[in-house]
Amino acid sequence: MKRLFLILFLLIPLASVTSTRGQNTPVNDIPTVTYDELIQNQGKYVDRTVRLRAIWTYGFEWTYLCADRCSKRSSDKAWVEIAKDEEQCSTLHKQVKKLGKKFDNQADVVVVGKLLAGGGYGHMGVYAHAFEISCIEKFKKIKVR
């Protein structure tokens, strides 16, 4: 009887841990924010999964998100990191490969991911923010100005 109790005592917590592992936030429960909202209220969004509409500029030594009108200041931009695992979106790495490898690219995107804290991101550590993309929901290339 003690042995049965001990087995149940050990298995019940293990079952509850394994049943929740790998579960993601349901797609409909992910809040949608603008890039300006994300940066202006960054304390609210750090390490929180959000859906984000932004302009993604990528090319030679840069990959960053910004609002509709990207300024020259790196403080207005968020360096892009791509999630290493595809837990949230099984097609993420295939989508990234389709982006193209031209010197200078720009796209209107809707992505899901998390704002990272800490600063010193990107090429030469000049970006104050980083956004880790875990899924690309919309991607439309636009002409670089």
Q: What is the CATH number of the domain that holds 76?
A: 2.40.50.140
pTM: 0.74
Express as a percent the part of the chain with pLDDT over 70: 74
Evaluate whether residue 130 is within a structural domain. Answer: yes
Evaluate whether residue 15 is within a structural domain. Answer: no
Q: Report the number of distinct structural domains present in the chain.
A: 1
Express as a percent the part of the chain with pLDDT over 90: 33
Burial 117-144 (b: 16+ CB within 10 A, else e): eeeebbeeeebbbbbbbbbbeeeeeeee
Evaluate whether residue 128 is within a structural domain. Answer: yes
Per residue in 16-60, pLDDT (tens digit) is 222 222 335 566 789 999 999 998 998 999 999 999 999 998 888
CA gap 35, 70 in Å, rounded:
11
CA gap 100, 58 in Å, rounded:
9
Sign of the Cα torsion 133, 135, 141, 142 reads: negative
Pairing of strands 49-59, 104-116: antiparallel
